[in-house]
Amino acid sequence: MKDSQAFDHRPDPELGAALRAALEPKDDQKTFVARVMAQYERALDRATIPTLDVLASWFRPGMAAAVAALIAGFLIGRTVLAPVPASIDAAMAPFEGPGLAALVTAQDPPDASVVFTSLVDQR
Partner 1 sequence: MFAERKGGGGREGKDPGAAGSQPPTGAARMGSSEEDKGLVAKTLAGDRDAFGILVERYAAQARRVARAVLGDPDDADDAAQDGFLSALVKLAQYDTRRPFGPWLMRIVANAATDRRRRRNVRQAESLDPALVGGGPRPDTVAMRNELGARLRTALGALSERRRTAVVLFDVEGYSHAEIAGILGIPEGTVRSEVFHARRRLRTLLADWKEQTP
Count of Cβ atoms closer than 10 Å to residue 74 Cβ: 10
Residue closer to partner 1 (CB basis): 10 or 78: 10
**C-beta separation of 78 from 72 below 8 A:** no
The DSSP code for 9 is: S
Residue closer to partner 1 (CB basis): 7 or 123: 7
Quote the least distance from Cβ 66 to partner 1, whole Å. Answer: 30
In 3D space, the residue among 89, 103, 90 whose CA is nearest the CA of residue 116 turns out to be 103
Residue closer to partner 1 (CB basis): 47 or 120: 47
Longest Cα pair distance anywhere in the chain, in angstroms? 120
Residue closer to partner 1 (CB basis): 40 or 84: 40
Which residues sit at the interface with partner 1, rule CB under 8 A? 1, 3, 5-7, 9, 11-26, 29, 32-37, 39-41, 43-44, 46-48
Quote the least distance from Cβ 3 to partner 1, whole Å. Answer: 8
Quote the least distance from Cβ 47 to partner 1, whole Å. Answer: 4
Which of 97-122 are b and which e, b meaning 16 or more Cβ less than 10 Å from the residue's Cβ? Answer: eebbeebeeeeeeeeeebeebbeeee
Quote the least distance from Cβ 53 to partner 1, whole Å. Answer: 16
